[in-house]
A = this chain, B = another copy of it.
Amino acid sequence: MSNPSLGFKYLYLSPDDYAAFPEGTVNATEVVDDGEKRMQLDDIIGQIHGIGVENLRGSGMIAGEQSAAYSDAFTLSYITGRSVGIGAYLCRLGQRNIQMTNGPLILTGYLALNKLLGREVYTSQDQLGGPQVMMPNGVSHMQVEDDQEGVRAILRWLSYVPSNCFTRSPALPSADPISRKIAFKPTKTPYDPRHMIAGTDSSDGSWTGGFFDRGSWTETLADWGKSVVCGRARLGGIPMGVIAVETRLMEQRIPADPANPDSRESVLAQAGQVWFPDSAHKTATAIRDFNNAENLPLIIFANWRGFSGGTRDMYGEILKFGAMIVDELRVYRHPVFVYIPPNGELRGGAWVVVDPTINEAQMEMYADEESRGGILEPPGICEVKFRDKDQKAVMHRLDPVLLELDQDPEENQVDISSREAQLLPMYTQVAHEFADLHDRSGRMLAKGVIRDVVKWEDGRAYFHARLQRRLAMDDLAMEAGTDRTVVEEHLEKLAGEANVDWNTDAAVTGWLQTEADHIVNVMTSLGRETAVEDAIESLSSLDEEALKMVLNRLKSH
């Protein structure tokens, strides 16, 4: 702090000035310099409390509280104006953000940055943290143009959210019948997965229906990790979290860095049906948002050929973000349906990170008749298990021409090669077909890795019935204060006595509704048993003296 060139080292107060301040305003040490008594300043505390480290402490406290709030309750920030430093951090700590076009999220203002850099690098706050930065990096979930649109977006989001973190959002009445067949069918060729989710308007003005209730779909994080699509929608009025897969080729745009004159905007191509670091991170983030206090059941329309494993994406921490999907699914507390849609496929590592064994209490897997699942795609598996030489061995076993030529292989060497070459495309094709027959829904069902084969067009009715049943069971388990598996055990017995088909979701749900009073009674007594067991366990951990204390306390009541 000393500045010899300017000739001073310390600041001082005269003893009189020092005495004039209330105690604790400054810390100072008495020095005598050339016979003059001075108070050399060590610290200035000041008389007004509020700006400085005490302010940072307050900011730390709200940061901690906001972090806790996200894990316990529904948090949503609307960024309607410039939000700086802790203001920006609070938005991220609450995770869910709607950003207005003119509300940048920044850490340091652009003028201060220019000063730091010693040149005019930045020309606006928006360059640093406007929606053009915060939408493509997934900090903001939605962008709105003005406050009216902002409030509309908030209200729409709230329509999927329960009134408190212990309940589920109620089913809203839906004009779109649950019995409606799904008209839009996912194709082998690339398509917009939003059409599968929400339907699409045809050029003739007619509507081709999708999976969810008409008009109920709201997308979030649309500009980030575009090879995955996520949002919220309703099925028969029940809100769900939705994750689907982009099948088209997408682009990731990384903006140029104004502070680095050599940098240019770069555009990276991202293939459809593949998880990249950003879209894997997006998937995990969306799952966490749905789970934390939104209490949404989740459906994943799984259609991934795998994770991108080139140098760029391996360096880009794809292993971290892929693993995060497992971490988030493992702790999911609401029903999760993983469904491979028609012409969809689920391979290798992509299957692994959404397999229901990650969280057996909540997750169930389904597949359409025309879907595929397996480790490698047919050409890949044939490369490993049924190469050219294996195919040629089969030709020599089956083909009458080759069997004839094999009588004198040395003499017929040229003819044999030519016949083999002629047969190879056909044999390869058959080999691929043979391999593909191992990847179909029938095998998935036979191996018990999916719960059911569900035809896409019937998906609405099927999953609505299943969801109603699962949620009813969750509600009863909460009522009984016990595990869902215990509740299900009891109810299965009861259903059997009442001749209700336990394997038909709609029948079970209907029975739960008509027999509601009786079943709630059963749950109450089940709840009582659980409470008694808990109490006994709590008492059994006590030593004799403590047990006496409890009994005395009970007697005194």
What residues of chain A have their CB less than 8 Å away from a CB belonging to chain B? 1, 3, 6, 8, 11, 24, 26-27, 41-46, 49, 51-61, 63-64, 67-68, 85-86, 88-89, 91-93, 105-108, 112-113, 115, 121-122, 127-129, 133-134, 136-139, 254-255, 257-260, 263, 268, 306-312, 314-320, 322-323, 326-327, 329-330, 348-349, 351-359, 373-375, 380, 383, 425-426, 429-430, 433-434, 436-444, 446-449, 528, 531-532, 534-536, 538-539, 541-543, 545-546, 549-550, 553-554
Contacts and interface: CB of A to CB of B under 8 A. Distances in A.
Given A254-B315, A306-B107, A442-B45, A532 B554 contact: no
A535 B531 contact: no
Nearest to A2: B433
A49 B541 CA distance: 47
Given A306-B108, A311-B257, A535 B545 contact: no
29 contacts: A8-B429, A43-B443, A43-B446, A53-B447, A56-B351, A56-B352, A56-B373, A56-B374, A56-B375, A60-B351, A60-B358, A63-B326, A64-B329, A67-B323, A67-B326, A85-B349, A89-B352, A107-B349, A108-B309, A133-B311, A133-B314, A137-B314, A255-B315, A258-B311, A260-B312, A263-B312, A534-B538, A535-B535, A538-B539
Given A6-B429, A312-B260, A539-B554, A61 B447 contact: no
Most buried by B among A315, A355, A446: A315
A440 B11 CA distance: 14
B107 A137 contact: no
B317 A8 contact: no
* Chain A interface, DSSP helix/strand/loop, else mixed: helix
A553 B257 CA distance: 73
Contacts of A259: 310-312
A439 to B, nearest CB: 8
A-B interface, 10 closest residue pairs, ranked by CB to CB distance from nearest? A60-B355, A43-B442, A107-B309, A64-B358, A61-B357, A108-B309, A257-B312, A92-B319, A44-B437, A56-B351
A314 to B, nearest CB: 5
A133 B257 CA distance: 24
A436 B531 CA distance: 61
Nearest to A321: B92
The copy count of this chain in the complex is 2
A310 B357 contact: no
Nearest to A352: B59
B53 A351 contact: yes
Contacts of A319: 88-89, 91-92, 105, 107, 139
